Amino acid sequence: MVRIGELAEQAGVSVRALRYYEEQGLLTAERSSSGQRHYAEAAAERVRLIQMLYGAGLTSRTIAGLLPCVDAQVSTPESRALLAAERDRINAQITELTKTRDRLDAVIEASTAPENGCVVAHAPHGLAAATGI
């Protein structure tokens, strides 16, 4: 068993994130007689999975619905449909991100010639306006 600070360090997340995951029903902890949270040794891997799913755009509600299938290593027709829909959404995101990357590559390539005089002020969110993307 590991305490909350140890788990946060092992998983690379904040203690606050672990408390949130517990509130959302994504992570469980046992409590000591003094009320301290204690997590199973495998909790760090679960937290990394939760982080990965959040990073892919899944909501805590969707993740909470999928974790029992992950735990049981069994899926239902409903969970497979949900997984397939999420996979398709992620594939669409990848397609759009690839297009954006390719456009940025084209702008970089076109703007490397010193004679074109392209100067872009630092504006992370203004990149589209400054480059025509």
Q: Which of 50, 42, 36 is nearest to 5 (CA)?
A: 36
pLDDT in 10s for each residue of the chain, 133 residues: 999 999 999 999 999 999 999 999 999 999 999 989 999 989 999 999 999 999 988 999 999 988 888 888 888 898 889 889 989 999 999 999 999 999 999 999 888 866 666 555 565 555 555 455 5
Q: What is the rounded distance in angstroms from the CA atom of residue 51 to the CA atom of residue 95? A: 22
1-74 is a CATH 1.10.1660.10 domain:
yes
| Domain boundary assignment for the chain | 1-74, 75-114
Work out the burial of residue 10: count CB atoms within 10 Å of its CB; fewer than 13 is exposed, 13-18 middle, 19 or more buried: middle
